[in-house]
Amino acid sequence: MGSDPRILVIAPDDSVIGALCQGLDALGWRTVTARSLPSAVQVLIDWPLETVVIDASVDGAAEGISALRQAVSPRRLPVLAIGPEATLWAAGTADLVMSQPPHPAQAALRLETLARSAIAEEEVSLREATFAARGEPLPPVQPEDAPLRVLAAGKPDRRFLALSNALTDRGCEIVAAPTPYTAFDYLHERAFDAAVLWGAEDHAPALSIASGMKRNTRLYHIPAVLYLRVAGEINLSELYNRGFADVASSDTPEDETADRIVALGQAHRRHIAVRRALESVRGSGLTDPTTGLFTPELFASHLARIAQGARLRRRQLSVAVLRVSETEAVVEARRNGWLDRALPQIGAMVSRLIRTEDTAARLAPDVFALALPATRGAAGRVAADRIAAVIGCTAFDAGPDKSPFVVEFEVGVAEMAPGETPAAVLTRASADSLRG
């Protein structure tokens, strides 16, 4: 993680969100503060910041958000507004509204989600251009218009039921699961847009469900929200890397928490639609026929477009290469043809595990590449290692009377340097994987 600021904070003073800024700085989300909207615009011009946190009491806050976004166009700029005034703004004025400052770890979770969603929207336009240039325009991204489906996992409790009722009032379809066992039954049987996990007296069941979802390629991207009985009953900082999309407590009004869950569910559904649009080009000859991943030629073309977009938007770009390790089990499976049978499944798993904004390619039968927009090298390695680790939990058939085999990867990552060509950064990532 670099030392440059990531968040623009706009506040007339530190009385409302000063403590939040200190907490975000401690988590590595460095902030820079502007005391007025005109000075905020100048800061955005000077720094390639990822998100904005605005005190809703700033003069002209609601009207000034559009000016902030215009200042960084074509980069998308998500905005978190804090304060009771923001709850009265027109829908869509800010990307997320909270009546009171959240815990810093909670804010970091949501800011990360907002930032990655903004990057995903930028990536959609780049993919549309890449496919259109090759005579295969992507179909429109059309999210499903059915009611959002939300899994509510946990023992019945009046506060948890109140949140479920608030979600129902917003048109959500709620499926209640009183135990982790029934929760996973439902998760495997139905498609959900979000999962709300009740902390109750014992957080272990909720944490178990969240961990299980993160080990499953199909459930990996479903946003999970931990709903606590009261604020401060658990160290939220410990949840930062557990995979939760949000953490809320019943001290927060149910309507506000429900709005945040709905926003997460809508974003997830749009991401599914983006993936579906991309998968629609399978069979066109532009993607690998067995995995749906980009071919080397398509990846090279799109990587060049991503690199150009990264420079235009002043964002980082990293490339990762995942090369199947020549372990004893893999050598044996390759000799008998079982690795060749597993590789299409492995490639499909890579496709499901990448973030919506990332692009995956099959460079060779057992070599995969990832383009990771707005990602520094260290974060890119974390993302690639996580994909390798999840696939490493899967056992593949090795033939009759033989134990299944697992696949490990040699991972290489490179962050694009100023003036570097896309081909050069891919070459560096490939060389890094060979050193592993």
Please, where are the H alpha helices in 73-135?
Answer: 104-133
Q: Average pLDDT for residues 395-402, to the nearest whole number?
A: 91
Report yes or no: 398 and 338 within 8 Å, Cβ to Cβ: yes
Q: Which two tokens stand for residue 179?
A: 């135990």
| CB half-sphere exposure, 194, CA atoms < 13 A | 30
> Whose CA is closest to 286, among 357, 356, 361, 343?
361
Q: How far apart are CA 208 and CA 215, in angstroms?
A: 11
Q: Which two tokens stand for residue 65?
A: 């958000």
pLDDT in tens, 4-21: 899 999 999 999 999 999
Q: Which two tokens stand for residue 420?
A: 């570097």
Residue type, 186: Y
pLDDT confidence band for 313 (50 / 70 / 90) = very high
Give this prediction's pTM.
0.82
| Four-CA torsion 278, 279, 284, 286, nearest 10 degrees | 60
Per-residue model confidence (pLDDT) at position 396: 95
pLDDT in tens, 152-195: 998 888 888 899 999 999 999 999 999 999 999 999 999 999 99
Provide φ and ψ at 359, rounded to 5°: -120, 130
> Whose CA is closest to 155, among 261, 229, 234?
229
Q: Is the pLDDT of residue 235 over 70?
A: no
Q: How far apart are CA 426 and CA 404, in angstroms?
A: 33
The residue behind tokens 């066992």 is: 181
Report yes or no: 6 and 73 within 8 Å, Cβ to Cβ: no
Contacts of 334 (CB under 8 A, 6+ apart): 340
Report yes or no: 362 and 373 within 8 Å, Cβ to Cβ: no
CA 348 to mean position of chain CA atoms: 18
Q: Average pLDDT for residues 144-148, to the nearest whole number?
A: 93
* Partner residues linked to 224 by β-bridges: 195
Provide φ and ψ at 7, rounded to 5°: -125, 130
pLDDT in tens, 72-101: 999 999 999 999 999 899 988 999 898 889
Report yes or no: 316 and 375 within 8 Å, Cβ to Cβ: yes
Consecutive H or E run containing 71: helix 61-72
pLDDT confidence band for 2 (50 / 70 / 90) = very low
Task: Tell me the torsion sign for CA atoms 7, 373, 380, 195.
Answer: positive
The residue behind tokens 């503060």 is: 33
Q: How far apart are CA 311 and CA 319, in angstroms?
A: 15
**Residue bearing the bigger pLDDT, 376 or 275:** 376
Q: Which two tokens stand for residue 132?
A: 């259109």
pLDDT confidence band for 411 (50 / 70 / 90) = very high
Angle, vertex CA 235, rays to CA 267 and CA 185, nearest 5: 50
Cβ burial, residue 13 (10 Å; 0-12/13-18/19+): exposed
Beta strands 359-364 and 367-373: pairing type?
antiparallel
Q: Average pLDDT for residues 341-354, to the nearest whole number?
A: 92
From first CA to last CA, the distance across the chain in angstroms is 22
Q: How far apart are CA 40 and CA 48, in angstroms?
A: 12
